[in-house]
Amino acid sequence: MDDDHTYVKCRWAENNNEDVRLQSFPKKPKVHLSFESLTYTVNTYRKLKKVKKEILHGIGGSFRSGQLTAIMGPSGCGKSTLLNVLAGYWISGSSGQVYLNDSLRDEKQMANISCYIQQDDYVRNLLTVRESMTVAAHLKLPTTVSALSKANQVDHVLDALGLSVHGDTVTKHLSGGQKKRLSIALELITNPSILFLDEPTSGLDSQSCSQFVSLMADLAHHQNRTMVCTLHQPSALLFEKFDQVYALSSGRCIYQGPPNFVIPYFAERLVVCPPYHNPADFLIEVSIGEYGTDVLVELFDSTKITNTIGRNKCHTISDEDHGEIEFELGTCQEDNNINDERLSYKLELSNKPRFYVQIYHLYMRNITMYKRNKTNLLLRIAIHLALAFIISYMYRGVGNDAALVLTNMKFVYASNLLLVYTGLMSVIVSFHLEYIVVKREHFNSWYTLFPYIVSILLVEIPLQILCCIVYIVPAYAITGQPFELMRFGYFAVFLIATSMTSQSTGFLCGATMSLKISVFVGPVFVVLLSVFGFAIRFPDVPSMYSWLHHFSFIRASFQSIMYSLYGLDRGILPCSDEMYCHYKNPVKFLNEMDFARVNIYPEFVYICSFFLCTYVLTSIVIWYRLNKR
Ligand SMILES: Nc1ncnc2c1ncn2[C@@H]1O[C@H](COP(=O)(O)OP(=O)(O)OP(=O)(O)O)[C@@H](O)[C@H]1O
């Protein structure tokens, strides 16, 4: 992170004009987050037997509005697990109560008032900072907010996070710290009451960490946000910047309170911090058991007492008695009045943009990203053109020669398979690359699934059609196929439909399987389907495979193309062989290959149905994966 955001110091408070600007944006309530008896259990396997493993052991605590809280503890103690459970990112496997102010957490309202920023910088690499923010504003802010106000809000948030000067920088060129600030800025657009951040300082140098934590503290203090983040081992200086620390040891809480009371709190329990020792290091050392496990048991017990006494209370430390340190249970902070607890955190769910507005903004975002990555686009088109010339030169003139009917059949098979492959492979990995960022955006309520899928298809389908046409036109001409609009139309439509269907299969494989498996299974699946109908007649197919013959959309397309080229009253073919041409009459070829009975319209309907069903299935799979908690 660079120096440029040292001026951040909460302009909200300093500049009246900015305050006015904020009025037009959704005002979010103060929300205190507390939890009781929180348990998280996963399934593990011991000798092939399913065994339950408890990661969080009935913990409780309270994170206050207007405070920056760090969840700390050694690696593997359950920090990320706690954050995931509190944010509602993981639900299955968890038990216990999570309260927002005085009410039990409501999932929909939680999504409305909170956001979760995960460890890695999941931002769209090909957009500029301002473009990313503008799309977020259009998707996340209510429809009642005008475009001008949205632009003001974008400027305001960028300014507050010190990103204004980088507004026109493509995000892939941002530094690690700037990316992290951008990922926060994207969520701050809606002014959320609670922000969860998983390891926001990982990968930053000490100066950047310090600036970043100061920024988070400002965001918490000046807008009464509840900010909770997980943290590894901070420096003493960084540690002091937090308002509260929640320390975990093996899934149990050992301390919750201000950082400067860690040492006296432990000293009271006869765990003394060595002089000149970083209190954060000391806390970690205690939590990994370096001061004895009996100490840990006592610490677990004392925090348990605290938590059972009341979720609105947390142990704080009073030093009113002139230096005589005393631990007491009390309300957490004077500015977080207990009355706030009774305030409803519930807001009227804002008017989210309608699905067609979401489609529009997502589509425009995709177009911008494609425009910025022209190489990918041009390469796809160039490859189809190059293959058209390479393949059709090999089969030049075979389309109108009775002596070369079988060779023409091979050309059709090759073309069909080629476009099936390019359709499949163009998207098979795309969902894997997208998934993490889509999951984040979807979880933080940017959009619903339907607009997202439609916006992808609105880009991918025309592009694949364009690629198919780039292949089909020269290939049809060079291979000397009949110069008839109807036959060309069938040839083009079936090849495009197959390529589209194969593309939908690629999406399905990508959405259902891991990357390694999908890049193997997808191509194998289409090769398997492609052999049906090619050089084997239906009566020769073993009866156990007959369903596969009918199932194969590649077979349906291949046979329909052959029928449209040689059926439909093609007439007698010219013959280059002076001696004998077996297929001078193409009907003979159609009969021998069992293509004569092909009914191209039902086959076309079948291919289209396959295409639609695959997309429905893909949407269901993606919906399940995005909503699995
Ligand atoms: N699905 C799971 N199956 C089995 N064990 C799991 C699962 N999820 C988490 N764990 C275990 O739970 C413990 C806590 O994991 P978690 O990621 O919350 O730790 P952490 O404190 O965030 O660690 P780090 O600081 O290294 O990121 C770890 O021991 C981890 O191996």
Residue percentage of the chain with pLDDT more than 70: 87
Residues 208 and 1: beta-carbon distance below 8 Å: yes
For the Cβ of 44 lying below 6 angstroms from any atom of ligand 1, the answer is: yes
Position 609 scores a pLDDT of 95
Structure tokens at 8: 């951040």
Structure tokens at 393: 């030169």
The per-residue pLDDT for range 512-555, each reduced to its tens digit, is 888 889 889 989 988 888 887 776 778 888 888 888 888 999 99
| 537/558 Cα distance (integer angstroms) | 13
What are the phi and psi torsion angles at 594 (to 5°)?
A: 65, 30
Position 591 scores a pLDDT of 87
For the Cβ of 78 lying below 6 angstroms from any atom of ligand 1, the answer is: yes
Mean pLDDT score, 450-475: 92
For the Cβ of 543 lying below 6 angstroms from any atom of ligand 1, the answer is: no
Which one of 80, 86, 94, 287 would you pick to mutate in the ligand 1 pocket, going by the greatest count of ligand atoms within 8 A of its CB? Answer: 80
Residues whose CB falls within 8 Å of the CB of residue 280, separated by 6 or more in sequence, listed in order: 72, 233, 234, 235, 236, 238, 239, 259
Q: Whose CA is nearest to atom 24 of ligand 1?
A: 75
- Provide the residue type at 378 as one letter: L
Position 348 scores a pLDDT of 55
Position 336 scores a pLDDT of 47
The per-residue pLDDT for range 483-516, each reduced to its tens digit, is 889 999 999 999 999 999 999 999 999 888 888 8
When mean pLDDT is compared across 6-15, 120-129, 529-538, the lowest value belongs to 6-15
Residues 603 and 555: beta-carbon distance below 8 Å: no
For the Cβ of 192 lying below 6 angstroms from any atom of ligand 1, the answer is: no
Position 470 scores a pLDDT of 95
For the Cβ of 51 lying below 6 angstroms from any atom of ligand 1, the answer is: no
Which one of 51, 54, 79, 84 would you pick to mutate in the ligand 1 pocket, going by the greatest count of ligand atoms within 8 A of its CB? Answer: 79
Pairing outcome for strands 244-249 and 67-72: parallel
Ligand 1 atom with the smallest distance to the CA of 82 is 18
Q: Which band of pLDDT confidence, cut at 50, 70 and 90, is reported for residue 321? A: very low
For the Cβ of 279 lying below 6 angstroms from any atom of ligand 1, the answer is: no
Mean pLDDT score, 35-51: 85
82 CA from centroid of ligand 1 (Å): 10
Q: Is 561 helix (H, G, I), strand (E, B) or coil?
A: helix
Mean pLDDT score, 425-445: 83
Task: State the pTM of this model.
Answer: 0.78
| 429/434 Cα distance (integer angstroms) | 9
For the chain, what is the mean pLDDT? Answer: 81
For the Cβ of 84 lying below 6 angstroms from any atom of ligand 1, the answer is: no
When mean pLDDT is compared across 77-81, 116-120, 379-383, the lowest value belongs to 116-120
Q: Whose CA is nearest to atom 31 of ligand 1?
A: 76
Can you tell me which residue has the tokens 């910088």? 121
468 CA from centroid of ligand 1 (Å): 47
CA dist 406 to 383, 529, 582, 628, Å? 26, 20, 10, 51
- Please give the DSSP secondary-structure letter assigned to residue 568: S
Residues forming beta bridges with residue 116, ordered by sequence position: 196
For the Cβ of 79 lying below 6 angstroms from any atom of ligand 1, the answer is: yes
For the Cβ of 118 lying below 6 angstroms from any atom of ligand 1, the answer is: no
Position 420 scores a pLDDT of 92
pLDDT at 315 over 50: no
Q: Which band of pLDDT confidence, cut at 50, 70 and 90, is reported for residue 16? A: very low
| 178/17 Cα distance (integer angstroms) | 26
Q: Is 476 exposed, middle or buried (0-12, 13-18, 19+ CB in 10 A)?
A: buried
The per-residue pLDDT for range 554-590, each reduced to its tens digit, is 999 999 999 999 888 888 888 887 777 787 888 888 8
Residue percentage of the chain with pLDDT more than 90: 23
Structure tokens at 491: 């040839």
| 184/174 Cα distance (integer angstroms) | 14
81 CA from centroid of ligand 1 (Å): 6
pLDDT at 292 over 90: no
Mean pLDDT score, 176-192: 83
Position 302 scores a pLDDT of 65
- Provide the residue type at 120 as one letter: D
511 CA from centroid of ligand 1 (Å): 25
Ligand 1 atom with the smallest distance to the CA of 77 is 21
The answer to whether ipTM exceeds 0.90 is yes
pLDDT at 347 over 70: no
The per-residue pLDDT for range 592-612, each reduced to its tens digit, is 888 888 888 999 999 999 999
Structure tokens at 291: 């001061």
Which one of 81, 82, 629 would you pick to mutate in the ligand 1 pocket, going by the greatest count of ligand atoms within 8 A of its CB? Answer: 81
Who wins on pLDDT, 295 or 114?
114
Ligand 1 atom with the smallest distance to the CA of 198 is 22
Position 123 scores a pLDDT of 79
pLDDT at 410 over 70: yes
Residues whose CB falls within 8 Å of the CB of residue 334, separated by 6 or more in sequence, listed in order: none
Q: Which band of pLDDT confidence, cut at 50, 70 and 90, is reported for residue 327? A: very low
For the Cβ of 54 lying below 6 angstroms from any atom of ligand 1, the answer is: no
When mean pLDDT is compared across 157-161, 416-420, 559-563, the lowest value belongs to 157-161
pLDDT at 14 over 70: no
Residues 440 and 455: beta-carbon distance below 8 Å: no
pLDDT at 346 over 80: no
Ligand 1 atom with the smallest distance to the CA of 248 is 21
Position 419 scores a pLDDT of 93
Exposed e or buried b for every residue in 83-107, given b needs 16+ CB within 10 A? bbbbbbbbeebbeeebbbbbeebee
75 CA from centroid of ligand 1 (Å): 8
For the Cβ of 541 lying below 6 angstroms from any atom of ligand 1, the answer is: no
Ligand 1 atom with the smallest distance to the CA of 232 is 25
Specify which of 282-286, 351-355, 600-604 reaches the highest per-range mean pLDDT: 600-604
Position 109 scores a pLDDT of 77
Q: Whose CA is nearest to atom 3 of ligand 1?
A: 42
pLDDT at 386 over 60: yes
Ligand 1 atom with the smallest distance to the CA of 83 is 18
When mean pLDDT is compared across 50-64, 342-356, 443-457, 589-603, the lowest value belongs to 342-356
| 218/188 Cα distance (integer angstroms) | 13
Q: Whose CA is nearest to atom 6 of ligand 1?
A: 42
CA quadruple 207, 209, 215, 220: dihedral positive or negative? negative
Q: Whose CA is nearest to atom 28 of ligand 1?
A: 76
